[in-house]
């Protein structure tokens, strides 16, 4: 019968009958687990997709450029971070690299496309990136980096524009790093936090 009554009613009856209320209260609370938190949807109701196109000219043939900087985990060198393949095989569909757990979802002889996976509890922005070495002449080429994502979850148009500018600056710098490596140069040590060189 107690199971059909509210906790408040049960406690009142227990008080009137002189029952050990503290023990009874603990027992009732133990029997009723807290309601689970409502899951946060990863779907975005009104997405606003944007793309950022960046490129740099390279004084090397496209095939040589791609051989130097186009392996899926070469990002570790030109982004100056650690990169390992977490699952799958390097340069093959479905390979997952440790940089943001990015998954290789498309490739050609001189390009690849990756995406970042859905994260639990966070709206999914469908982030994709494509890196390509494109022939220009027999001895020159250009590296093209394109980002595509949904920026609707950012607060306002000014914030969205600043985000695009920040990404453009950062990835243009990475293209310059790739150009340096593809043309036979070396990168300076990465800047430590606070802007000081390591």
Q: Express each pLDDT in 33-45 by its tens digit.
A: 666 665 556 777 7
pLDDT of 190 reads: 84
DSSP H helices in the chain? 7-17, 21-31, 62-69, 75-78, 157-182
Q: Give the residue carrying structure tokens 């000014």.
A: 158
The pLDDT-based confidence of 30 (bands split at 50, 70, 90) is low
Mean pLDDT value across residues 98-110? 97
Mean pLDDT value across residues 43-65? 93
| Environment class of 87 (CB within 10 Å of its CB; exposed 0-12, middle 13-18, buried 19+) | exposed
Domain boundaries of the chain, sorted by first residue: 2-31, 49-182
Which numeric CATH code is attached to 49-182? Answer: 3.30.530.20
pLDDT of 2 reads: 47
Mean pLDDT value across residues 143-171? 95
Chain mean pLDDT for the chain: 85
């Amino acid at each position: 019968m107690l199971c059909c009554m509210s906790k408040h009613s049960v406690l009142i009856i227990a008080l009137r009958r002189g029952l050990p209320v503290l023990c009874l209260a603990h027992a009732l609370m133990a029997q009723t687990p807290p309601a689970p938190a409502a899951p946060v949807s990863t779907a975005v109701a009104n997405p606003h997709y944007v793309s950022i196109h960046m490129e740099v000219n390279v004084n090397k043939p496209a095939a040589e450029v791609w051989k130097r900087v186009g392996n899926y985990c070469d990002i570790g060198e030109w982004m100056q971070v650690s990169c390992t393949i977490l699952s799958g095989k390097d340069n093959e569909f479905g390979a997952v690299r440790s940089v943001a757990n990015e998954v290789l979802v498309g490739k050609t002889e001189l390009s690849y496309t990756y995406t970042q996976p859905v994260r639990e509890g966070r709206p999914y922005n469908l982030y994709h990136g494509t890196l390509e070495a494109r022939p220009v002449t027999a001895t020159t080429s250009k590296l093209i980096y394109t980002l595509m994502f949904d920026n609707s979850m950012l607060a306002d148009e000014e914030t969205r524009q600043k985000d695009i500018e920040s990404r453009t600056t950062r990835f243009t710098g990475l293209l310059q790093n790739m150009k340096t490596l593809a043309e036979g140069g070396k990168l300076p040590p990465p800047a430590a936090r606070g802007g000081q060189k390591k």
